[in-house]
Amino acid sequence: MAQKGGRQRSAGAARRAARKAKSVIEVRKKKEFTYRGKTLEELQALPFEEQIEMLPSRVRRIFRRGLTAEQHKLLENVRRAEAGAVTFRTHRREMPILPEMVGHTFGVYTGREFKSVTIVPEMIGHYLGEFALTRKVVSHGGVGVGATRSSKFMPLK
């Protein structure tokens, strides 16, 4: 029998204590972001053509066919600005997110307002519009007076 702090334990209790001590959760290190095996710094250092080749096929097709004038202007503004210095307001919901956009904030138009979207590395390869929803979640209220035909005849207080 094992002793702990002056008292005796059975062999089963000693095994359980050892198993518990072994299973203590350690603080996890934050996993470094990689996109198709490359870190964000490596992606940003790649030439533009090689960046495009790593993106999904739909996004590659957009760049092969050529950006619209508005998309091209937005991309040039992003390249000129410092990360986080300015918010870009845009209607270009179909603009693909590139590695050079990480850290910037975009005001993406939803049809009613500009939703603020801060670009993080996990968004690479998606579109701006995916992160600014155009519909609100509907939360219906409870049943009230006038909600049904029978409630028309209820006396009001």
| C-alpha span between 34 and 115 (Å, rounded) | 27
Residue segments in the chain with a per-residue pLDDT below the cut of 50: none
Is residue 71 within 8 A of residue 77, CB to CB? The reply is no
Q: What is the pLDDT of residue 46?
A: 94
Please report the pLDDT score of residue 116 as a whole number. 96
pLDDT at residue 104, as a whole number: 94
132 contacts 110 by C-beta, under 8 angstroms = yes
- Residue whose tokens read 């009613």: 112
Per-residue confidence (pLDDT) for residue 29, from 0 to 100? 74
Question: What confidence score (pLDDT) does residue 102 get?
Answer: 93
- What structural domains and CATH numbers belong to the chain? 40-131 (3.30.860.10)
Place of tokens 């998309």: 71
The reported pLDDT for the residue numbered 145 is 65
DSSP 38: B
Quote the pTM value.
0.70
